[in-house]
Amino acid sequence: MSNSDEKAVKLHRGTGSISNGKLSEKWPKQQALESAIDKAQHLHEVDWLEAAWKALSDQSQPDPLELPDTGVGTLRERELAPVFINTPTYGTRQSTVIKRSSKGHLKIWERRWTGHGGALRHGDVFWTNKHD
């Protein structure tokens, strides 16, 4: 799951994140996101999910020295640096949270965003493979 021709990678147990780079590279926004999710892991699922949405909506900027050099220039790197991107011409379109239980049950929450550069709106979707 990458935008390059890497070999298939086994995902390990625990918190992980995917951005526009290689799975093996952790950008500052991914490190911040994973840290926030890890800190919330002891919470009840409703509160944990709220903490995940809060972390996924973080628009704070990392230290400029920590930014990757992806070839788009310093100004654009700064625009793309937050977990949640909201510029007049580009931004986060969806955020997804996936939770897998020790029994293999999956829960997937997705938040889809519209209205970048101004008032943001979102719609939520939920899927599961667990049938009661």
108 pLDDT above the threshold of 90? yes
* Buried-state track 12-38, b at ≥16 Cβ within 10 A, e below 16: eeeeebebeeebeebbbbbebbbebbe
Q: What pLDDT, on the 0 to 100 scale, is given for residue 5?
A: 59
Q: Where are the domains of the chain?
A: 28-128
CA-to-CA separations, 36 to 30, 39, 41, 121, in angstroms, rounded: 10, 5, 9, 23
Nearest to 122 by CA among 60, 53, 55: 53
Q: What pLDDT, on the 0 to 100 scale, is given for residue 4?
A: 63
Cβ burial, residue 86 (10 Å; 0-12/13-18/19+):
middle
Summarize pLDDT for 26-80 with one digit per residue, the tens: 889 999 999 999 999 999 999 999 999 999 999 999 998 988 888 899 899 999 9
Summarize pLDDT for 5-27 with one digit per residue, the tens: 567 777 788 899 988 777 778 88
Residues 6+ apart with CB under 8 A from 48: 40, 41
The secondary structure of residue 91, as a DSSP letter, is B
For the chain, give the percent of residues with pLDDT over 90.
47
Give the position of tokens 């999710």. 37
Higher pLDDT, 1 or 88: 88
The alpha carbon of 43 is separated from its chain's Cα centroid by a whole number of angstroms, namely 19
